[in-house]
Chain A
Amino acid sequence: MAQTMTAPTSAVPQAAAKPFYFNTAAHLLRITRQKANTLSEFLEALREVPEDSIFQHSFRTLQEHHFIRQGFSNDFAQWALSSCKEPGLGEKLSAVDIREFTSISDLRQRFIGIVEGFLQGNPAAGTKVAQETFYFCASDVVVIPTSFVAHTMHEFAEGIRNVSVHSIHHHFIEARLRIKLMSNDFSQWLHEDMGLTATARALNQIDIYIGTLEDVRQQIVRIVERALTEGGD
């Protein structure tokens, strides 16, 4: 469900109602039983694999490839493009923005819909053998606290500057699956505990697909620093 933020312009408070605890997450890759050599097999597996496999190849892979500035979105798109040689399908899969989803089930349906639609229009593509097999993996996750805690905007900015990009991914991208909102942990804290609604909204509008995760961090820092410099939203 979409979150609306309509509070008026606010000043940066001295301290937050609740502190922000920076965490990060470590993942261990598990190999599932499903694999695909053709797009038809791929579609069948997409319907059957566990949710943590859809998570791995969409949310998680974006984190694994956080250093790529452009041209990488998710493993499904990459496979369609480089192994199946189907650039049209690759582009459609690549255009799926994981931030539009707060549940893996909905995200899975989007991927299934795209592949189904493509195969309806290109039935012969379904049985063409791909250059490389697609192996569906999944990941086991352990959430790890960091030493950074923010009680103030200054401490928040300091945390953002210093935590790993994995922590940024955990709070900024992956969070929506946890909080079930079209938002992220940073924006939620800025909105709810600092009363900085416009800053929260600005963060939530950052495009994560046109830069590296480090670029995203820098954009977050700039927005937070602007709020600090201007004394509020």
Chain B
Amino acid sequence: MNALNQMIETETPASTSTRSATASAAPVAQPERRKAPRTWETPPAPVPPAPLDHYRSIVGDADIEELRFLARDLKGKTVKMVNSTAVGGGVAEILNRLIPLLGELEVMTHWDVITGGNDFFEVTKAFHNALHGSPYELTRQAQEVFLMHNEQNRQRMQFNEDVVVIHDPQPAALISSKKETKARWIWRCHIDLSNPNPQVWGFLRPFVEQFDAAIFSSQSFARQLPIPQYLFYPCIDPLSEKNKNLDDSFVQKVCDEFGVDRNRPIVTQVSRFDRLKDPVGVVQAFKMARKYVDCQLVLAGGGASDDPEGAVVLKEVKEVAGDDPDIIILDLPPWCALEINALQRASTLIIQKSIKEGFGLTVTEALWKGKPTIAGAVGGIPNQIIDKLTGALVHSVEGCAYQIRYLLTHSEFADQLGKNGHEHVKENFLITTNIRRWLLLFRILLNSAGR
């Protein structure tokens, strides 16, 4: 049973739809809408990743053969990935897909998860926020908790592999084992280090400097370090539920259920109800643009049910939206990937008007679907959107409104942006590209070690 069917059958108080609340005020004929969206009560089991050969039809034979060639010299080599959580969170999601694909290429990759008490994870959570720039006073006690749990894990773990990859700061002090091993050690930093708390970075830096290489998700996250630093962009899986091709009948069904009229232009932003995603600004831009062009706005996101601030933001968005029947606000749980996919595919334009952003994978998803995309020029978005070539970058509500008007009335240009955006993702931001990056890095490091 797909998520949509489930959503129809189950109704939870977590779900809200401003559109349905305003529908009664609009006597004009509208597509029939459900009274309230439904959601699954529990998340479905994760879908296993597709085998490598399934990507041939997407990236082409040459790319897959390239991967096989790069892996050939690594046959028999072993890799260990270490992070701090087996389920939930972006890193676990990445490893769940990466490791089977590396295994298919006969690069045997083991995954170890460090353990720790609440005290450890409280400290590492504080470190995480501090590395993102939050104020934090690093105490001696916090340092001791961090080091003690790393040491306990270090004593428990073995590092017999050829390459050890440590993800994020939590297990960074495991590097103390390096001198006892033959391995090349890589630190994969998934977080934004562009403006770190100096105390916490000062504490972690001596550990990081002992690695053979570091990997960052953006050029701006890199630090001045005496080791080589590589750039691995975050990526999407084109065969995941969020990104795979869908039958048009399913897309239609989702639109019907959510009351989205596919006969009129659809402008969509997919994101949590978070001020940094500026959903209020999106509504304002939509209202400005709609004075000139007919369109509907879909704000599809989540976070209102499990995050008190998300609920406040959702309320603000509803207030700005007022009783406009063309603004459809959907608070969806995170496992509605197929529905999000369908809404993105149904859209004429996609917006990601973030004020602050990590990499902005929703932009990657939009571009992959060939959608003309308008996005804030923040975080990793300019890596994806080359202004006027693969999308449109904006810096204000007014700029966003203008781009909506322009792209809705210049379909040939909009289509070209969409096509370029798709190719840009295919070239740089797919999981197969990241597999290639990993294989290249393993080869480079192992060769430099004289193997």
Contacts and interface: CB of A to CB of B under 8 A. Distances in A.
Interface of A: 24, 26-31, 33, 35, 64-68, 71-72, 78, 82, 131-133, 135, 137, 140, 142, 144-147, 162-164, 166-167
Nearest to A32: B229
Contacts, number: 80
Candidate in A27, A28, A164 with the most chain B CB atoms within 10 angstroms: A28
B440 to A, nearest CB: 4
A31 B382 contact: no
Given A30-B228, A67-B427, A131-B377, A144 B70 contact: yes
27 contacts: A24-B66, A26-B70, A28-B230, A28-B440, A28-B441, A29-B230, A30-B230, A30-B231, A33-B224, A64-B428, A65-B386, A65-B389, A65-B424, A67-B423, A67-B424, A68-B386, A68-B389, A72-B386, A78-B386, A82-B386, A82-B387, A132-B377, A137-B219, A142-B444, A144-B70, A145-B69, A167-B62
Given A68-B389, A140-B440, 18 more contacts: A24-B62, A26-B436, A28-B230, A30-B228, A30-B231, A31-B231, A33-B224, A64-B428, A65-B424, A68-B386, A68-B390, A72-B386, A137-B231, A144-B69, A146-B62, A146-B65, A164-B62, A167-B62
A82 B229 CA distance: 26
Interface of B: 60, 62-63, 65-66, 69-70, 216, 219-220, 222, 224, 228-231, 377, 382, 386-390, 393, 419-420, 423-424, 427-428, 436-437, 440-441, 443-444
Contacts of B419: 67
Contacts of A64: 427-428
Contacts of A33: 224
State the main secondary structure of chain B at its contact with A.
helix
A22 to B, nearest CB: 10
Contacts of B441: 28
A62 to B, nearest CB: 12
B431 to A, nearest CB: 16
Contacts of B387: 82
Contacts of A72: 386, 389
A147 B437 contact: no
A94 B62 CA distance: 31
A31 B420 contact: no
A65 B420 CA distance: 9
Nearest to B225: A33
Contacts of B423: 67
Ranked 7 nearest A-B pairs via Cβ: A135-B219, A67-B423, A164-B62, A29-B231, A28-B440, A31-B222, A31-B229
A144 B66 contact: yes
A144 B72 CA distance: 11
A133 B436 contact: no
Nearest to A132: B382
Nearest to B428: A64
B70 A71 contact: no
B337 to A, nearest CB: 27
Contacts of B388: 71
B62 A163 contact: yes
Nearest to B69: A144
A66 B424 CA distance: 9
A164 B60 contact: yes
Contacts of A71: 388-389
Contacts of B219: 31, 35, 135, 137
Nearest to B219: A135
Candidate in A27, A31, A35, A72 with the most chain B CB atoms within 10 angstroms: A31
Contacts of A29: 230-231
Candidate in B63, B66, B69 with the most chain A CB atoms within 10 angstroms: B66
Contacts of A133: 220
Contacts of B65: 146-147
B384 to A, nearest CB: 12
A172 B246 CA distance: 38
B444 A28 contact: yes
Nearest to A35: B219
Contacts of A144: 66, 69-70
A50 to B, nearest CB: 12
Nearest to A147: B65
A24 B440 CA distance: 14
Contact of A68 (B420, B428, B437): B420
Contacts of B436: 26
Nearest to A140: B444
Contacts of B393: 82
A18 B393 CA distance: 50
Contacts of B70: 26, 142, 144
Contact of A31 (B230, B377, B444): B230
A198 to B, nearest CB: 30
A87 to B, nearest CB: 13
Nearest to A72: B389
B364 to A, nearest CB: 15
Given A142-B443, A144-B69, A146-B62, A28 B437 contact: yes
Contacts of B420: 67-68
Contacts of B386: 65, 68, 72, 78, 82
B228 A164 contact: no
Nearest to A64: B427
Nearest to B388: A71
Contacts of A78: 386
A71 B440 CA distance: 31
